[in-house]
Amino acid sequence: MTRKSKTSVRSLRAVFAAPLAMCVLSLIGLVSALAGDGLADWLSWAALAVPVLAVAWAMRRRRRQG
């Protein structure tokens, strides 16, 4: 990210955009495996993996930036 975006003040919407997406995906993941097998299970695993992958992404990005 650019230096400019580091100092500017974010709106509430901007702060919660990614967290809200994580919440929605988590809830889809929690419910879909409850509703069915097969494809529903795969959807569940993929959706619940997003919060985990977000942390991995943040850690990698941190390392790249030094």
Partner 1 sequence: MTRGTIRAWYLVHKWTSLICTLFLLMLCITGLPLIFHDEIDALSGEPDQSAVVGAASSSDGPGLKPLDAMLAKVLATTPGDVPVFMAFDNETPLMTITTAPRPGSKGAEMTIHVLNRATGEMTGRETEEGLMHFLLQLHTDMFLGLPGMLFLGMMGLLFFIALVSGTVLYAPFMRKLDFGTLRVSRSERLRQIDYHNLLGIVALAWMSVVGLTGVINAAATPLRQMWQMGELAEMTRTYKGQPPLPPSRYGSVDKAMAEVRKARPGNNPQFIAFPGGSFSSQHHYAVFLQGTNKLTEHVLTPALVDAEKGVLTDIRQMPWYMVALSYSQPLHFGDYGAVPLKILWAILDLFTLYILWTGIRLWLGKRRSSADAHVSEVESGGLVVPAE
Q: Helix 12-35 to helix 39-65 angle, to the nearest 10 degrees?
A: 150
Q: How far is the CB of 54 from partner 1 (least distance, A)?
A: 5
Q: If binding means CB under 8 A, how many residues of this protein chain bind partner 1? A: 40
* Residue 39 found at the interface with partner 1 (CB under 8 A): no
32: closest CA among 17, 42, 18?
A: 42
Distance of CA 36 to the CA centre of its chain: 23
Binding site for partner 1 (CB under 8 A): 1, 5-10, 12, 15-19, 22-24, 26-27, 29-30, 33-37, 40-41, 44-45, 48-49, 51-52, 54-55, 57-59, 61-62
